[in-house]
């Protein structure tokens, strides 16, 4: 991909408004390069990830993840700070995409083998790795140049429902210790009658 092509397809910056770039027809990836505050990073570092349940729920634009997070085992400062951040990212996703009902997963991911590069069959997928190395991505025409969405940064990938064939692919990195990964995407219309706590687990972030 040429430098001009990269500029059209991929946007990166330290302002959350940068995520709006993903709504452009030719955009494939937007990354908000943010650094989490020290109290947040400290609270996350103290979590016993293996003692937490995965969270998988549908929420609307004005909902809160306070109760689902508590049910998954989060307590204290980590619970409060994660709730505030995830609620903020749900609203940010809704503002960027125009979707008012979203599927939210907070998953403890383990594995020593990197995932397969792929693109999701969705419209827009937001991801943030709270603990551990971030999701890896590459251009379809440059698969050997592997990049990473840093820990704490927010990436929004355009899926195959809007951009097919894809120009950007992503995968989970190979890890030793568990990662804590947030994924937000529009709720599927056929999910309406499913339990809010029984959505399929995402293993690719």
For residue 1, the model assigns a pLDDT of 54
CA–CA separation, 202 vs 13, rounded Å? 27
pTM of the model: 0.88
Work out whether strand 29-32 and strand 10-13 pair parallel, antiparallel, or are unpaired: parallel
For residue 15, the model assigns a pLDDT of 94
Q: What is the pLDDT of residues 90-99, one digit of tens each?
A: 999 999 888 8
Partner residues linked to 11 by β-bridges = 30
Q: What is the pLDDT of residues 17-48, one digit of tens each?
A: 999 999 999 999 999 999 999 999 999 999 99
CA–CA separation, 189 vs 192, rounded Å? 6
Q: Is the pLDDT of residue 200 over 70?
A: no
């Amino acid at each position: 991909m040429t430098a001009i092509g990269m500029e059209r397809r991929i946007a990166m910056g330290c302002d959350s408004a940068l995520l709006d770039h993903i709504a452009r027809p030719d955009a494939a990836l937007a990354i908000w390069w943010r650094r989490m505050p020290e109290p947040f990073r400290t609270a996350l570092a103290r979590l016993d990830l293996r003692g937490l349940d995965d969270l998988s729920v549908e929420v609307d634009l004005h909902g809160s993840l306070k109760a689902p997070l508590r049910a998954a085992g989060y307590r204290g400062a980590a619970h409060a700070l994660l709730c505030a951040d995830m609620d903020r990212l749900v609203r940010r996703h809704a503002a960027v995409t125009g979707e008012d009902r979203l599927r939210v997963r907070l998953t403890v991911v383990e594995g020593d083998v990197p995932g397969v590069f792929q693109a999701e069959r969705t419209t827009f997928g937001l991801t943030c790795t709270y603990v551990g190395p971030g999701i890896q991505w590459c251009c379809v025409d440059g698969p050997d140049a592997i990049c990473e969405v840093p820990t704490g940064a927010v990436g929004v990938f355009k899926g195959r429902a809007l951009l097919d064939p894809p120009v950007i692919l992503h995968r989970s990195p190979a890890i030793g210790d568990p990662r804590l990964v947030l994924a937000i995407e529009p709720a599927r219309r056929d999910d309406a009658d499913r339990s809010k706590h029984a959505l399929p687990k995402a293993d690719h972030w």
